[in-house]
Amino acid sequence: MKERKCIHPRKAYNLMKTFLNDASDLHYADDENNLFKTEIILKKSDSFKTESGDSLADSEELEVNYNFQDLCSNGAKIFRACWTRRVPCLKGFSDATLALLHELGHLETNDKVREYFPYFMRELTMVGIENVATCLEEANAMYFLMPDEKAATEWAINWLSKKENSKKAKLFEKEFFKCFE
């Protein structure tokens, strides 16, 4: 995404929140085991990310952090290049859509991934990447292939591969980019 200014941040926020909640199939159970849809909330931050520990089971709310400037960063460009090489159909979607769905993918896959890749292993892997990577591109490539990162992106790819979902994504993008100049 080229550098743009968000002129309607509240509308952009609402569009992102609606998009994420429509895409999510996460639920939680109350004390009587009644199922309710988990609400995805957004919080302005320094980047697109989710903060998830070892379990998200039965959470009433889950948080995705966002930052519009992060979409123009070198990391976003490297992420896009890495995954569009592997999955060319992703080229048709904006960085914002890919970032949001990837972060939702973390929430959708967290509990399953943490069964075999607990959070402490993620932290150790991050230290290993920092110690062996010789440049930013190499570090990012290794980071994107960590089990939790790969699972989140694969969830996003699978979601986008359904025709009705790709239409939802395109409608989101059409309205979302009206919020920028």
How does pLDDT run across 45-57, given as a tens digit for each residue? 988 888 765 566 6
The label of the residue with tokens 């694969």 reads 154
Domain range for 40? 9-173
> Does residue 178 fall inside a structural domain?
no
- Identify the pLDDT of residue 83: 86
Residue 12 half-sphere exposure toward CB, CA atoms < 13 A: 20
* Residue 36 included in any domain: yes
Indicate whether 2 belongs to any domain.
no
pTM of the predicted protein model: 0.91
Q: Is residue 179 part of a domain?
A: no
Residue 160 lies in a domain: yes
> How much of the chain, in percent, has pLDDT values that exceed 70?
94
Both tokens assigned to 61:
């709310």
Asked whether residue 139 is domain-assigned, the answer is: yes
Total structural domains in the chain?
Answer: 1
| Residue 181 forms part of a structural domain | no
Residue 21 CB contacts under 8 Å (≥ 6 apart), including other chains? 37, 39, 40
Are 102 and 84 a contacting pair, CB within 8 Å? no
Distance of alpha carbon 26 from alpha carbon 57, whole angstroms: 9
What average pLDDT does range 40-69 have in this prediction? 82
The pLDDT-based confidence of 58 (bands split at 50, 70, 90) is low
pLDDT digits (tens, 9 = 90+) for 129-167: 999 999 988 998 899 999 999 999 999 999 999 999 999
* Residue at 1 is within a domain: no
